[in-house]
Amino acid sequence: MNTGTLLMSVSLFALATTSTRAGPEVSSWGDPGAIDCVASARVSGVYATARASTDTIEIHDIDQQLVQVVSRSDLQSALPWMTLDASADGPSAIALSDSGRLLFVSVHDDTPAPDGMGSDAVLRVDLNTAQLSVFARLELSGDTASPPHLAMLHTHGRLYVGSGAMGLRVYSASRNQTTGSLLGSSGPGGAAPIRGLCKDQSLNALYAATDEGFYRADLTQIPPLFSRMGDLQDARGIAHSDHYGDTTTRGIYATTSAATLLHITDLQALGIQTWGPSAYATLGASGSDVSATACGRLLVGTGSGSLIINDTLDTRPAFGQWTLDEFAQVVAFARGLIAPDGEPSGWVIDADVDAGGNRFHPATPDAAGWATLLLIMSDELTGDPEAEDLVRQVLERYAGLATDGIGPVSSADGIYRHWIDPATGSVQPGWSPEFATLSTMKIVMGAARARAYYPGNAAIQSAADTIIQSVQNWDSYIQPGSDALYFRGEAAGGPTPGSASAPFHEGVIFVEQAAAFGGAAAALDRWLDRSQSPSATYLTGQPVTTASSGSHLAAFVSLYSALVQRPFRESQDWQTHLNNLLASNGAWTDDNAPVLMTVFSAGTTAPEWGGYHADSLSDHPGDVTSLPALMAFGATGRSAPAVGAYHAFRHGARQSFAGGASILFRRSAENPAFEPGDAALPDVALGALGLAELIQPGSLDSVLAVSYEAGCVADLAPPAGVLDFSDVIAFLSAFGAQDAAADLAAPTGQFDFSDVVAFLGAFAGGCP
């Protein structure tokens, strides 16, 4: 590696030369008892510990909840010639891929293999499928009297395996390789056992530790050529972090056979500062291994258990505090788009712009629907005192019930325009005039959820009922035979020919509404049956459902349903789809080693990448990660993806917008300096709603993923749910006063005989 390049890179990080101000806080992690190996995912909240005494590897989440176990019987089944028992044979090193999708376990034993191949092995565990395979056979160590404390590292689709007998071996370990292919080998320190491996992500530096020394190599070289940087006696593990504590505490941490955790500054590791590791923390028992976590801490294995360590100099909020703040910031983002620039109250502008910019987007039903969901959830989680009235303002505006009379112009079937001029309610000049079913489904979704959440608010009930009941002829927008959804409608009613798109896509939300308010129950069953839709496969044996065979969809398509649709959330088949979707994006992350966990979804990109783009595993110009989509995987109840977003926050990935909110949005692995000029609310809201499920488990099912209820246009007077003469009087009074409550045939502002017919039909039918 070029020394001048190193010096330049180091200066960018303002690396300090000492860590004398550090204040480590040490806490126990997990059950007591000797821990021989630890590992954590670099960009995700997956944590692993291994015990040689029980030949067991445990996978935990950030809250120390046990997620998965690889047991002795699992290891023994894969390696039948071994005699694994309570001795020190068994796991000698573990490594997680960057995303936490893969776990590698090196297993040693002194029993020769009957087939003449290596008597030791590296196992590969796919944590998404629990598939365990023998990845490599080799000789690691014949020592079963005491754990050999070896090392492994997975990065850039490669696995680096340290041994006591064969030096460092590098295997190709890309996403679908269950068996490794040897790329090369080398040996820092001659034949000395390799006790620790880690990397500096920013400098592509590979570090290794042996019993007597610390070494550096260029990670891009295969096999790596090591240079000795200094003495390191009795090393048992090393880890590098660029976001632990503050700038004085970043660098490398090493456990040794002593009960002291050592700190090696980046400058020392690069040979720029005089070598001199310093004591950082007392462990209480001999150290066995160390790993730097995505959440900015150190996971340490010792002879008496595992420890988690953070530094008091770290001024960033802890993970739990960050989830609350990120949720609040996104709610503020949405709140800041409700009539932000003097528009009539209740209009929701589709997108905000970068701080200092000028907004230019029209209002949309899409933004209104998501703003409503965010406000409802804010009320649920925090008792937000402004949420209910803002929801009323938004729904009254989009229902055409605002006192100034300005409302959205819709088709004869009540299909909303996508782009709305707030001054007139008609199409925004210069923007597409389409009547959009996907926009309609979002405002109907928001109205239905608000109606259910605020049953005692008559204004919200009336506005929600008007929005929902204004949409007519639901079934006509689902193509007979194919069950494809028409994306556009005609002004006079009916779908626009040629605009239909077959399952699967986010239009499943419209289809669910059509099943509730029309007669599309069979179509909904078809949409929810994964076996009837095309699929695409990025990971062998882990297909995802899509709209076109072999072509992946942007992640938001599935995540919308994961947030708001009960049938989707309750389906084990769709949960498998979500797990495969996350794993597939994780596999791309593992093979490409971007700074941040990457999930591809729709959003703003640079002009040279095509502007706004629906990124997916099939097509992702600029390699832009959608951090809201990453957070939205919290809808599954799993915290690991949200920890990946927190990792991005720790790396300064938030962006500030004109409305004053500072949120995680989109970052490019190809061009880290890229910052989107604007962010659409539909591309932002899903992340906060995913976090809501982590903040308050069960909140999605109780607030958002609820059944649709149509309400009753004839139920105009108390008591609610009862049709009697008071409702007739209320209708006649409203009709005579030309009040919007009597405009039942369509929200046009015209009061005529069709409204009377609509009322009488509903009243006579008893309403649904």
Condensed to tens digits (0 to 9), the pLDDT of residues 267-303 reads 999 999 999 999 999 999 999 999 999 999 999 999 9
Higher pLDDT, 734 or 636: 636
pLDDT of residue 520: 95
* pLDDT tens digits, 616-673: 999 999 999 999 999 999 999 999 999 999 999 999 999 999 999 999 999 999 999 9
* pLDDT tens digits, 351-365: 999 999 999 999 999
pLDDT of residue 4: 34
Closest CA to 299 of 536, 60, 105, 582: 60
Mean pLDDT across the stretch 414-418? 98
Closest CA to 521 of 475, 557, 583, 590: 475
The CATH class of 319-704 is mainly alpha
* pLDDT tens digits, 36-88: 999 999 999 999 999 999 999 999 999 999 999 999 999 999 999 999 999 88
Q: Tokens 């979804």 — which residue?
A: 601
CB atoms within 10 A of CB 749: 11
Task: Please determine, for residue 758, whether its predicted confidence score (pLDDT) is greater than 90.
Answer: no
Task: Please determine, for residue 746, whether its predicted confidence score (pLDDT) is greater than 80.
Answer: no
* pLDDT tens digits, 533-566: 999 999 999 999 999 999 999 999 999 999 999 9
Structure tokens at 120: 């030791």
Fold of 3-311: Methylamine Dehydrogenase; Chain H (2.130.10)
Q: 0.85 exceeded by the pTM? A: yes
pLDDT of residue 17: 35
What contacts 60, CB < 8 A, 6 or more positions away?
A: 29, 30, 47, 48, 49, 66, 67
Give the percent of the chain with pLDDT over 90. Answer: 85
Closest CA to 400 of 12, 745, 673: 745
pLDDT of residue 88: 86
Q: Sign of the C-alpha dihedral, residues 46, 236, 56, 285? A: negative
Mean pLDDT across the stretch 125-135? 98
Q: Tokens 């040693």 — which residue?
A: 108
Q: Judge whether 714 and 731 are in contact, CB under 8 Å.
A: yes
pLDDT-derived band at 120 (thresholds 50, 70, 90) equals very high
Q: Give me the chain's average pLDDT, please.
A: 92
Task: Please determine, for residue 218, whether its predicted confidence score (pLDDT) is greater than 50.
Answer: yes
pLDDT of residue 30: 86
pLDDT of residue 762: 73
Q: Judge whether 553 and 534 are in contact, CB under 8 Å.
A: no
Q: Sign of the C-alpha dihedral, residues 421, 424, 430, 435? A: positive
* pLDDT tens digits, 589-617: 999 999 999 999 999 999 999 999 999 99
pLDDT of residue 715: 73
pLDDT of residue 517: 95
Task: Please determine, for residue 7, whether its predicted confidence score (pLDDT) is greater than 50.
Answer: no
pLDDT of residue 487: 98
pLDDT of residue 179: 98
Task: Please determine, for residue 217, whether its predicted confidence score (pLDDT) is greater than 70.
Answer: yes
User: How far is residue 68's CA from residue 433's CA, in Å, rounded to a whole number?
Assistant: 52
pLDDT of residue 754: 75
CA distances, 187 to each of 142, 162, 239 (Å): 18, 9, 19
pLDDT-derived band at 765 (thresholds 50, 70, 90) equals low
Residue spans per domain, the chain? 3-311, 319-704, 725-765
pLDDT of residue 726: 82
What contacts 338, CB < 8 A, 6 or more positions away?
A: 345, 346, 347, 348, 349, 371, 390, 393, 394
CA dihedral 449, 452, 454, 455 (to 10 degrees): 160
pLDDT-derived band at 19 (thresholds 50, 70, 90) equals very low
pLDDT of residue 12: 29
Q: Are strands 678-680 and 654-656 parallel, antiparallel or unpaired?
A: unpaired
Q: Are strands 158-162 and 305-311 parallel, antiparallel or unpaired?
A: unpaired
User: How far is residue 733's CA from residue 130's CA, in Å, rounded to a whole number?
Assistant: 66
